[in-house]
Amino acid sequence: MKKIYFLVLGLVLSSTFVFSQMFPAHFKGNVFTGNEQLIGAKVQIYNESQMIGSTYVRDFGFIIRLELNTEYTIKILHKDYQTALISISTFYPENDFKVVIPEFDIGNIQLIKKVIVTDKNSSEKLFAKIAYNSSLHNFEFVK
């Protein structure tokens, strides 16, 4: 019985390690309108205009895990609010041997009420750009 327990425990730990190695770039954030948290807002992850994942804002906000060396667009959506876009580049220099990349806090994303628009693209607004900084060994906001 002990052998089975340790085998299962080993499998769980190794799969957790593999998952964290596959998606080493962690980003967290939260979504508000004014002082009200928008629990249930949808967070969609896109790569080359194809949605590859999604999650929802919970009481703690949201956490997404991304692969390195890829460009992503994150869409934050909630009914009756403008969609916020976040551009994230996880390109990471091969010669940067830092093993663990710290989690990056995007912060509080403020959504604003939609106004009547005729152009669909004008209901989406770029909120931030994020990229890896080799000298900091971490991600940062890009101007």
Task: For residues 31 and 115, give the distance between their C-alpha atoms in angstroms, rounded to a whole number.
Answer: 19
pLDDT band at 125 (very low <50, low <70, confident <90, very high): confident
Strand ranges inside 18-123, DSSP E: 25-33, 36-37, 42-47, 50-56, 62-66, 71-77, 83-89, 104-110
Tokens matching residue 3: 């052998």
As for how many domains the chain has, the answer is 1
Q: How far is CA 126 from the centre of its chain?
A: 15
Range of the domain at 80: 25-141
Say which range, 66-70, 72-76, 80-84, 118-122, has the weakest mean pLDDT: 118-122
Tokens matching residue 125: 């607004």
Q: Indicate which CATH number applies to the domain containing 126.
A: 2.60.40.10
Q: What is the pLDDT of residues 12-26, one digit of tens each?
A: 333 333 333 455 889
pTM of this prediction?
0.76
**Could you tell me if residue 12 is inside a domain?**
no
Q: What is the pLDDT of residues 25-56, one digit of tens each?
A: 899 999 999 999 999 999 999 999 999 999 99
Task: For residues 128 and 124, give the distance between their C-alpha atoms in angstroms, rounded to a whole number.
Answer: 12
